[in-house]
Amino acid sequence: DPKIIQKPKYLVAVTGSEKILICEQYLGHNAMYWYRQSAKKPLEFMFSYSYQKLMDNQTASSRFQPQSSKKNHLDLQITALKPDDSATYFCASSLDSSGNTLYFGEGSRLIVV
């Protein structure tokens, strides 16, 4: 059973719309992350959270907003979607943010038309 659950697995969205990608982890981890993967950039770090606090944001656009309602949740809200946002978005977690193994969810494949 996957311990990091991402929803939805596949998503087609219209340009200009807004979507939320869900991530829940059941590993008891304190740090969570979002990564993006596309043909242009193999594995691109977006955000890191530790104990529900934003630690690092490498996403230039404010259209991407992480939301952490619980320690084991880190959702990603994307507004004003563009075709260039098409990618697979991976949620990941680690025990804490100090150099421990990262575990990835199965990804949410987003296509913006």
Query: Least CB distance from residue 80 to another protein, whole Å?
Result: 27
One residue of 85, 87, 89, 105 binding another protein per CB under 8 A: 105
- 11 versus 102: smaller Cβ distance to another protein: 102
C-beta separation of 52 from 68 below 8 A: yes
Does residue 66 touch another protein according to CB under 8 A? no
Measured CA to CA, the distance from residue 91 to residue 107 in angstroms comes to 7
Regarding 90 and contact with another protein (CB under 8 A), the answer is: yes
By CB under 8 A, how many residues form the interface with another protein?
A: 18
Distance (Å, whole) CA 87 – CA 63: 15
Residue 68 makes CB contacts below 8 A (sequence gap 6+) with 32, 49, 52, 74, 75
Is residue 8 reached through a cis peptide bond, with omega within 30 degrees of 0 on the bond before it? yes
CB closer to another protein out of 37 and 79 = 37
Among 28, 56, 84, 111, binds another protein (CB under 8 A): 56
1: which residues sit within 8 A by CB, 6+ positions away? none
CB of 111 to another protein, least distance (A): 15
Given the rule CB under 8 A, which residues bind another protein? 42-43, 45, 48, 55-56, 90, 97-107
